[in-house]
A and B are shown apart, each in its own frame.
Chain A
Amino acid sequence: MSGVQGSGVGPAVDEHAEKIDAYASARNSQIAGALRAFARRRSALVGLAVLLLIIAFTVITPFLWKYSYSDITVDFSAAPGWRHPFGTDSIGHDLFAQTLRGIATSLKVATLVALLSTVVGTVVGAVAGYFGRAWDAVLMRVADLIMTIPVLAITLVLANVLGAKGSSWFLLSLVLSAVLWIPLSRLVRGTLLSLMKNDYIDAARMLGASDRRIIIRHLLPNAAGPIIVDATLMVGRAIIVAASMEYLGLGIQAPEVSLGLLIQRGQGAATTQPWLFGFPALFLVLIILSVNFVGDGLRDALDPRRTV
C-alpha cells in the first residue's frame, strides 16, 4: 500500500483504488489469457492470417488491376497466364477481377448477416431468457417452426418474393438474417437461463439494479463468449447459404458477380476449362475454412473452463 498513513481519507481511497487496479488487471489478464489461448492454436492463427490477406487483397487489388470485373477483354477462354492470372471466360471476362469481386460480395453479405443476426438474436434471446413466460414461449415456437423448414428453402422463397430487388447484396443479407438470427437467439436464451442461477444476479437485484442493468451489465458480458463464437461461425454459414442460392439462380444476379454465380457458370467446363470453376470454388472453400478455424480458436480462447 502506498498511501500515507494517518492522512484520514488516504487508506480508504487507496484500498478502493487497489481494488479497481486488481479488477482491471484481472480483466486484462483475462483478455491476455484469451489472446494467448487463441495464439496457441496454430490453425486459428493461420485462418486469421489467410482471412486478413484475402480481405486486404480484395480491397486493394481493384485499384491496381488493369481489368474491372465487368470489362470484356479480347481474350476468349484463355487459360491462366501472365495477362490473366485466373484465365478468362468465353466472352472475355477477366476471371481474376471477377473472382475478387465475387469474394468482396460474399464477404459483404456475410459480415452484414453476422452483424444483423447477432444483434437481433442477442436482443430477442436476452428478452426471452430473462423475462421468460410469453416471450419465451413465442420465441421457442418460432424456433421450432424454422427448424422444420430447410433454411435454404425459406431464403429461396424470400428472395423470389422480393423479386428483382432481391438481387442486391443488401437485401440478400436481410433475407439471410431473417432466418439465421433464430438459432443464435436460442443460444443466448439458453446461456442467460444458466447464468441467471448465479448468486451475483440475485445480489444485483437486491441492490436495486433494474432489469435493463442486470441484462446489459451482468448477463450479456458473461454470455459474450458463446455469442462471439456463434457470430463468427455465422459468417461461414451465411457464405454457404448465399452461394447455394446464387448457384440455384436466386439471390445475386448478373451483371453483379458472386462466387456462387461464377461456380454455376463455370461448372459445365469443370474438366475442359477448370479455372472457370476452380478459382471461385477454391476461394469459397478457403474463406469458409479460415472463418471456421478462427471461430474454433475463439471457442477455445473464450471457454470459461480454459486453464490459463
Chain B
Amino acid sequence: MLTFILKRIVNGIAVVIAASVLVFALVSLAGDPLASMLSSPGASPQTVAQYRQTLHLDDPIMVRYLSWVGGILHGDLGKSYSGQSVNSMIFSGLGTTLKMVIPAAVFGLVGAVFLGVVGALKRNTAVDHLISALSYALYAIPVFVLAILLKGYIAVPLNNAFGATVLYTIGDSTPGVPPSLSDQVRHAILPVFALAVYSMGPWSRYQRAAMIEVMSSEYIKVARAKGLGRARVVIVHGLRNALIPIVTIAGADFAVIVGGAVVTETVFGWQGMGRVLVDALTGPVSPDVYVVQGWIMVVAIFVVAVNILVDLMYGVLDPRVRR
C-alpha cells in the first residue's frame, strides 16, 4: 500500500510538472498580451515598456519559465499586470470557491448514491423510470441555465412571498455584516444546489449500474441465504462494494466540478476562482499571464491531490487493494 501511495505521489508530481510546461507554452508563448495596450491611444510606449519589464516579457523563454517555476517552488505565483499579487488573488478566490465546490461535491455524491441505490433496488418500476428520467433531464441542463432558473423562479418568488430576502442571489455573503453561518448558508443554497445537481445526473446512473451488478452477485445471495436481513445485506454487503466505482468517478470528475463552479460563480456573482480566471481572460490586458498560469497550476495541484486522496479511500472501501 505504501509503495502504491508513493508511486501515485511521484506520478502526481510528474503530471503537475507537465501541466506547468503546457500552461506556460499555452499562455506565455501564445502572443503579446500587451499588444492591445500598445495599440490603444491612452498608453504611452514608455508605460508599455515598463509593464513589459515588470512582467519579464523581454527575457528569453527558458529564463521566464524557470523564474516562474522557481517562484512557484518558493510559493510565489508572481504578479498580475496591475501589480497585484497573484497569490492573494487566487487564495481569496479559492476560499470562496471551496465554500461552493466542497458542499456541492458532498451533496452531489450523497444524492447520486441515494438515487442510484433506490433506482437499482426498485429496478424497472415506476420509481426507477422516474429517477432515470430525472437524471437524463439533469444531464441535459447546462449548469448556468439551471442557475438562472433557480435565481429567477425559486429565489425571486420566494423572497417576494416573504417580503424579505430569504435566499440571496448575488455574492457569497452580505458585505458589511459580521459573518454568520445563516447569512452564508442563505447565500450558498442556490449555487450549491445548482452545482450539486450538475453532477448528480451522470453519477446516479453509474451508482445504479454498480448497485445492480453487486446485488446480482453470488455473495449477496449467500448473505441472504445465511438469513441476514435485507437492510443489512443492502447496506453492509451491497452498498459498500457498489460505492467503489462511484468514488473513482467522483474523484476523476473533480476537475469537471471546478469547471462547473466557474460558470455557477459567474451567475451568482461570487468573487471566487471562476471570476479570477474570467477577469484575467477578458480584462483590458489579456491574458493576464501570471494570473492565468497560476490559476491553472493551483487547480491542477488541487485535482491531483484529490485524486490521490481518492486512491487512499479505496483502501478504506476495498480491503483487496490494501496489499
Contact = CB atoms under 8 A, between A and B. Distances in A.
Given A150-B256, A150-B299, A288-B140, A250 B281 contact: yes
Interface string B37-53: 00000000000000000
A75 B252 CA distance: 50
B19 A149 contact: yes
A296 B281 CA distance: 36
A85 interface: no
Nearest to B255: A150
Interface in B103-148: 136-137, 139-145, 148
A204 B148 CA distance: 57
Contacts of A236: 140
Contacts of A157: 26-27, 281, 287, 292, 296
Contact of B262 (A153, A249, A288): A153
Max chain A C-beta neighbours (<10 A), residue from B252, B258, B281:
B281
A273 B308 CA distance: 48
A147 B277 contact: no
A58 interface: no
A158 B26 contact: yes
A154 B27 CA distance: 10
Contacts of A270: 148-149, 151-153
A232 B193 CA distance: 28
The contact size tier of chain A is 35 or more
A91 interface: no
B267 A149 contact: no
Interface stretch (A5-13, A17-25, A277-285): A277-285
B259 A161 contact: no
Given A243-B142, A248-B266, A141 B18 contact: yes
B216 interface: no
A247 B262 contact: no
A156 interface: yes
B266 A284 contact: no
B304 interface: yes
B286 interface: yes
A144 interface: yes
Given A292-B139, A293-B136, A147 B287 contact: no
Contacts of A292: 136, 139-140
A248 B147 CA distance: 14
A275 to B, nearest CB: 13
B190 to A, nearest CB: 13
B86 to A, nearest CB: 15
A168 interface: no
B30 interface: yes
Interface residues of B, number: 50
A91 to B, nearest CB: 21
A163 B15 contact: no
A157 B27 CA distance: 8
B25 to A, nearest CB: 11
A167 to B, nearest CB: 13
A271 B256 contact: no
B259 A151 contact: yes
Nearest to B27: A157
Given A148-B303, A151-B259, A156 B148 contact: no
A198 B296 CA distance: 42
A152 B262 contact: yes
B99 to A, nearest CB: 18
A249 B277 CA distance: 12
Given A150-B256, A157-B281, A244 B142 contact: yes
B295 interface: yes
B274 to A, nearest CB: 8
Interface in B15-64: 15-16, 18-19, 22-23, 26-27, 30-31
Interface of A: 141, 144-145, 147-154, 156-158, 160-161, 163, 236, 240, 243-244, 247-250, 263, 267, 270-271, 274, 277, 281, 284-285, 288-289, 292-293
10 contacts: A145-B18, A147-B303, A148-B255, A148-B307, A149-B255, A153-B258, A160-B281, A248-B263, A270-B148, A285-B145
Given A149-B296, A285-B141, 15 more contacts: A148-B255, A148-B307, A149-B255, A153-B295, A160-B281, A160-B286, A161-B26, A236-B140, A244-B144, A247-B144, A247-B263, A248-B266, A274-B152, A277-B148, A288-B140
